[in-house]
Amino acid sequence: MRQYTPMIQQYLRVKAEYKDAFLFFRLGDFYELFFEDALKASQELEITLTSRDGGSEERIPMCGVPHHSAAGYIEQLIQKGYKVAICEQTEDPKHAKGVVKREVVQLITPGTVMDGSKLAAKENNFIAAISCIDEHTYGIAYTDLSTGESKVSLLEGDCELLLDELSTIGAKEVVACQEDDEQLLKRIEERSKAVISYEHQCSFEEEFHPILVHITDKKMHAPALRLLHYLKRTQKRSLDHLQPFSIYENSQFLKIDYYSKRNLELTESIRGKGVKGTLLWLLDETATAMGGRLLRQWLDRPLIQRTAIEKRLHLVDIFMKHYFERLDLNELLKSVYDLERLAGRVAFGNANARDLVQLKKSLMQIPAIRELLNGIGDKETVRLSERLDPCEELTDLLERSIVDHPPISVKEGGMIKDGYHEELDKLRDASRNGKDWIAALEKEEREKTGIKSLKVGYNRVFGYYIEVTRANVKFLEEGRYERKQTLTNAERFITPELKEKEALILQADERSIELEYDIFLEIRQIVKTYIPRLQQSAKIISEIDVYQSFATVSETRHYTRPKISETRKLMIENGRHPVVEKVIGSQGYVPNGCIMDEQYEMLLITGPNMSGKSTYMRQIALTAIMAQIGCFVPAEQAELPIFDQIFTRIGAADDLISGQSTFMVEMLEAKNAISNATKNSLILFDEIGRGTSTYDGMALAQAIIEYIHEKIGAKTLFSTHYHELTALEEKLLHLKNIHVSAAEQEGKLVFLHKVKDGPADKSYGIHVAELAELPKDLIERAQEILAELESGEIGQAKPRDQAPNQLNEQLALFEKPETGVNSREKKILKEIENLNLLEMNPLQALNTLFSLQKKVKK
């Protein structure tokens, strides 16, 4: 440290406490970054890298950004997953003895962003803390710092349950203990793309009591306290807007694991990774940001309580039947700003006057919303109305105090209305009178001197002055003015009277700006006391917004109210896949029904590729989810049971990160469903077993079908290309064959997309290949081979120019070597036997296979 200057030593001391963050170090009007921070920031932000003398032999890398435009640069770094520590000057440089005191005033991280253009309006920004209670119990607490929503839960099961939960809430940052399992934290980073932070402090502090008031189980204290300590340490400001932690249990909601949510594209599309093409995209007709966030939460956690589901369906029904009231309500909601995030900004101390104007305008809509809800006359809409709080006193205060169009800055004046504060009015009067005197002086001096271009101006360096062009200086009387500044084309003068008025005006301006800021802080402090009431109204407005959104979508797309079955019956008449229908249009969509009751719990689906098997399976799951979030469903008529879990295995993809093949991923997802499903679950399996040899795959598929049928009894849709499995209908009492039909017309395949009873009679695989425009001679050769196979010569179809010297079957992994092999072959076989395949990733396996092949060829 001694080799560096005192200022650089100060920087290094602060940086040592924030090693995992960029340190924005305030020097005058700039935030500077040094050493590694500078090298990295110059690349990430594309700003100029310079250097400075810091006392050492080598110059220190340095880059910086102006403090007034730093917010944009900080946002860029946060979006890339970095943390930024803001280090400010905490004493006036005029009074500093030596180096100006500096300290970090806030650590901004992906999970603690409070505002900015990159904070998605209709998406929560959750930060979570986790705690490993014991081997099979995890505690999780999370909050959205921008809205104050806070929740806590205990998860009983393996770490997969914790990973699913973090993915469900979309946590941007996860706070853990340094001693937590490194492998688990690595998996959290990979799956959730969350930043990992650490906090060891979990002690109880009295100031946390109001937030922990509902937590009775001490096991939940650990993650909640870890989260609160982290926020207190990093944010260094009031957390009064954090709502008390609400306790929830996973078992209270329909469980859909991470992979199933991805397969069903509930909130993120598989291809584009965006919202377009998802169920959320279809259903979101919300008018407020708050409503959009609540809709996403409802999609993540569908209900399983009949009463709660029926209540939501009832309100959607009411809004559908009151069309004109719904239109008026939508218009009112469009004028409601984000009350939750406005309240958060007020509590955090970074709300400006424009935020308070938005708050006032939002509150002014509540009386009209209440009147509209009461006018509908339903008991549920009346209850919603009664829970809305217009906060009349606050609305009145903001109406009297804040101008309608205030500036963004709170330190430049122009925010407070005339007549609100007596002293401020006097200062403004003095300033205005002084400026009127200045205007009168200019007019008077023009008349007396005869110089029409004479003007009275102002700048921050010289104050007020009289400016005369050089050509007109000769017309001035000697000694009339006192010369102050000479310019190229003009001279500037002052007079004693002008300086006297200048002092009066500037003092009044300066004092009025200071007083305005003080008054604004007082008003903001009063607003802070209303935060709990504002948050309550925000919740109700969010609910109302989602109900009207469901009603709008249901009416526009001709959805129907589902009946909740009491006998586990599933009946869908002319159902549609809601998203596909919106994309291709209702005219081009072929609807399909589905019946699964006590007689048939399992449907075995056959049919050619591209015929619509996967779409049909997905539409059943999406219809069930829509019903359980309280929305009408895309069908002419529907009766649905309440599912407790949904499992899907649709589509195939290697898990390259963990080195797992398509088939291994397929088996792991099948295991997850089989291990956790109950008779009240819904299982969708698409072509299980296709990742291995024909006979292996068929055997596994049949075993899985039989296991689910005999031991679980869950509602199951199982699609397959193994036509031999259709014979199971005769063996399994509750299984039924259905197929997606297609037809041959003039040698071409035409997909009918209609689901019918019974098995498909053909696979049509070669026809699909033809549709994909594979080479004509390849298609003809495939047809020849198919003819040979169908004639009974299975396993004997020969390549055109090659003798049949190899068996057409999968190589057994652990086949014992035959007698008579030579020593070199024995050595290779031994090498194969000793391979640890489960420890290899795909690339290592390929390299090993290549090496063995070279040895065999020798």
Extract the annotated binding site for ATP.
Answer: 607-614
The residues, ordered by sequence, that sit 6+ positions from 813 with a Cβ below 8 Å of its Cβ are: 837
96 within 8 A of 225, measured Cβ to Cβ? no
Q: Measuring CA to CA, how many Å separate 49 from each of 38, 59, 84?
A: 7, 12, 18
Bridge partners of residue 602, in order along the sequence? 716, 735
Contact at 8 Å (CB) between 542 and 535?
A: no
Q: Which amino acid is at 516?
A: E
Task: Round to whole Å and give the CA distance between 193 and 195.
Answer: 7
Which are the contacts of 57, defined by CB distance < 8 A and separation ≥ 6? 3
Angle of the 323-334 helix axis to the 531-556 helix axis, nearest 10 = 130
Q: Are 77 and 22 in contact (CB under 8 A)?
A: yes
Q: Which residue has the tokens 């407020």?
A: 288
Pairwise CA distance, residues 351 & 349, whole Å: 6
Binding residues are 607-614
| Residue 665: other Cβ atoms inside 10 A | 18
Least Cα distance to 684 among 259, 268, 300, 296 occurs for: 259
* Structure tokens given for 11: 């920087």
Enumerate long-range contacts of 188-191, CB under 8 Å, 24 or more apart: 188/162, 188/163, 190/657, 191/163, 191/166, 191/167, 191/258
Indicate the SS3 state at residue 6. Answer: helix
Q: Which of 593, 649, 641, 644 is nearest to 619 (CA)?
A: 593
How far, in Å, are 138, 160, 164, 172, 251 from residue 155 at the CA level?
5, 10, 11, 20, 10
Using DSSP's 3-state secondary structure scheme, residue 823 falls into helix
Burial 565-584 (b: 16+ CB within 10 A, else e): beebebbbeebbbbbbbbee
19-38 core/surface letters (b: 16 or more CB in 10 A; e: else): eebbbbbbbeebbbbbbebb
At residue 835's C-alpha, the angle toward residues 830 and 840, to 5°, is: 165
Alpha-helical (H) ranges within 708-834 are 728-731, 765-771, 776-790, 823-833
